[in-house]
Amino acid sequence: MSWTKESIHEIVEKQRDFFRTGKTLDIKFRKKMLAKLGEAVKVHSDELTDALTKDLGRTDFEAFMADIGPTIAATKELSSKVKKWVKPELHYSGITCFPSIWTRVYKMPYGVTLIISPFNFPIYLSLVVAATSIAAGNTVVLKASSKSKHCTEAMKKMISETFPEEYFTLIDGGHDVADMCLEERFDKILYTGSPRVGVHVMEMASKNLTPVALELGGETGNWCVIRKDADLKDAARKIAFFKMLNSGQICININQVAVASEVADEFIKELKEAYKSQIGTSALDNPEYPHLIDKKAYDKCSNEADIYRDRIVYGGCGDEASLKYEPTVIYPVKIDEPIVLHELFNPLLPVVPYEDSKIDELMATIDSREHGLSLYLFTKDKKWAKKVMSSQQYGGGCVNEVMMHIGAKDVPFNGTGHSGMGAYHGEWGFREFTHPSTVLFGSTRFNLSLREHPHTGDVGKRKLSLVKKML
| Catalytically annotated residues | 215, 251
- Phi and psi at residue 362, to the nearest 5°: -60, -50
For 39-107, the DSSP string reads HHHHHTHHHHHHHHHHHH---HHHHIIIIIHHHHHHHHHHHHHHHHHHSPEEEE--GGGTT--EEEEEE
**Measured distance CA(384)–CA(230) in Å, rounded:** 12
- Phi and psi at residue 417, to the nearest 5°: 65, -125
**Measured distance CA(291)–CA(298) in Å, rounded:** 9
**Closest by CA position to 170, among listed 212, 114, 119, 110:** 114
**Measured distance CA(400)–CA(422) in Å, rounded:** 26
Contacts of 260 by beta carbon, 8 Å cutoff, 6+ apart: 226, 227, 228, 230, 353, 354, 355, 356, 359
**Measured distance CA(408)–CA(182) in Å, rounded:** 32
356, 335 Cβ separation under 8 angstroms: no
- Identify the DSSP state of 34: H
**Measured distance CA(56)–CA(376) in Å, rounded:** 26
**Measured distance CA(130)–CA(445) in Å, rounded:** 46
**Measured distance CA(469)–CA(52) in Å, rounded:** 66
- Identify the DSSP state of 393: -
Residue 39's CB is within 10 A of a number of other CB atoms, namely: 13
Contacts of 282 by beta carbon, 8 Å cutoff, 6+ apart: 326
**Measured distance CA(176)–CA(189) in Å, rounded:** 17
- Identify the DSSP state of 248: G
**Measured distance CA(123)–CA(63) in Å, rounded:** 9
